[in-house]
């Protein structure tokens, strides 16, 4: 990258970071380009030049966030962690992403943006499912998942958890110790309510 490109890239990243920070506390419908411009200390024209519209900016912020999360997780996957550590890491990432993009916010963004919906579906099919299958296969190969438990069983079980993850996080927040609550849920995920066999 030459000097101009580097400067342009820095400005783009600054605008996107500002937008992400604002999404943590504001409804996307209430965020205006003028607000982002003021907070990022750039002109509105600059934002329109880089992104074209508020909707395109929000889409870019979300996609960038998701791409980074996937890259980071793929790197974690290649570091030789146990199945339990991988599942705990997934729950940790879900908890962290919940702070930035609560499920209600994601639903709102997806309802209003078909391009973003298509992107999420593509990521799910091409990245999330293959990564999850890899985790399961590695767990079966290491003896951490019983041989009689199929990939379909584990995928269904994970889906049950993920469908209720928003409710689980709310319960965790209301408990005396959030971390201990989530640790207990990980234990139940692996060993059921009767403990480790």
SS (H, E, C) 4-36: HHHHHHHHHHHHHHHHHHHHCCCCCCCCCHHHH
Residues 33 and 10 in one domain: yes
Domain that holds residue 31: 1-52
Nearest by Cα to 104 from 57, 155, 19, 169: 169
If you write DSSP's letter for every residue of 112-170 in order, what string do you get?
Answer: H-HHHHHHHHHHIIIIIHHHHHHHHHHHHHTTSS-TTS-HHHHHHHHHHHHHTHHHHHH
Whether residue 73 lies inside any domain: the answer is yes
User: Is 196 within a domain?
Assistant: no
Residue where a domain stops, chosen among 28, 52, 76: 52
Q: Looking at the structure, do residues 107 and 159 belong to the same domain, yes or no?
A: yes
The total number of structural domains that make up the chain: 2
Same domain, 187 and 97: yes
Task: Write down the pLDDT at residue 16.
Answer: 94
Residues 43 and 58 in one domain: no
Examine residue 138 and state whether it is found in any structural domain, yes or no: yes
Let me know whether 80 and 117 are in one domain. yes
* Structural domain includes residue 60: yes
Residue 90: partners with Cβ closer than 8 Å, 6 or more residues away = 73
Rounded-to-integer distance, Cα 107 and Cα 113, Å: 10
Could you count the other beta carbons within 10 Å of the beta carbon of residue 21? Answer: 14
Residues 65 and 150 in one domain: yes
Same domain for 9 and 62?
no
Q: What is the reported pLDDT for 10?
A: 92
Q: Are residues 40 and 77 in the same domain?
A: no
Cβ–Cβ < 8 Å for 191, 197: yes
Residue where a domain stops, chosen among 18, 35, 52: 52
Whether residue 58 sits in one domain with residue 48: no
Tell me: do 150 and 132 sit in the same domain. Answer: yes
Does one domain contain both 28 and 104? no
Name the domain boundary from 12, 36, 52. 52
Asked if the structure places residue 197 within a domain, the reply is no
Model confidence, pTM: 0.74
| CA dist., res. 130 & res. 124, Å (int) | 9
Any domain includes 139: yes
User: What CATH number did the domain enclosing 131 receive?
Assistant: 1.10.357
Contact predicate 89/76, CB 8 Å: yes
The predicted structure's pLDDT at residue 195: 66
Residues 119 and 130 in one domain: yes
Averaged pLDDT in 10-residue chunks for the chain of 197 residues: 83 93 84 94 94 91 87 86 82 73 69 82 88 88 87 86 77 82 79 70
């Amino acid at each position: 990258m030459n000097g101009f490109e580097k400067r342009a890239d820095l400005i783009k990243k600054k605008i996107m970071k500002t937008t992400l920070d604002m999404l943590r506390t504001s409804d996307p419908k209430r965020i205006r380009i003028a607000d982002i411009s003021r907070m990022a200390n750039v002109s509105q024209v600059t934002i329109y030049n880089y992104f074209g519209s508020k909707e395109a900016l929000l889409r870019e912020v979300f996609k960038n966030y998701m791409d980074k999360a996937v890259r980071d997780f793929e790197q974690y996957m290649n570091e030789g962690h146990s199945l339990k550590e991988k599942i705990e890491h997934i729950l940790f990432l879900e908890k962290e992403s919940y702070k930035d993009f609560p499920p209600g916010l994601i639903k709102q963004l997806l309802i209003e943006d078909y391009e973003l919906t298509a992107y999420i579906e593509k990521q799910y099919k091409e990245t999330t499912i293959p990564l999850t299958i890899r985790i399961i296969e590695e767990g079966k190969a290491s003896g951490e998942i019983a041989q009689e438990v199929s990939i379909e069983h584990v995928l269904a079980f994970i889906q049950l958890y993920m469908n209720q993850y928003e409710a689980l996080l709310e319960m965790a927040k209301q408990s005396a110790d959030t971390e201990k609550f989530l640790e207990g849920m990980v234990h139940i995920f692996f060993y059921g309510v009767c403990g480790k066999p």
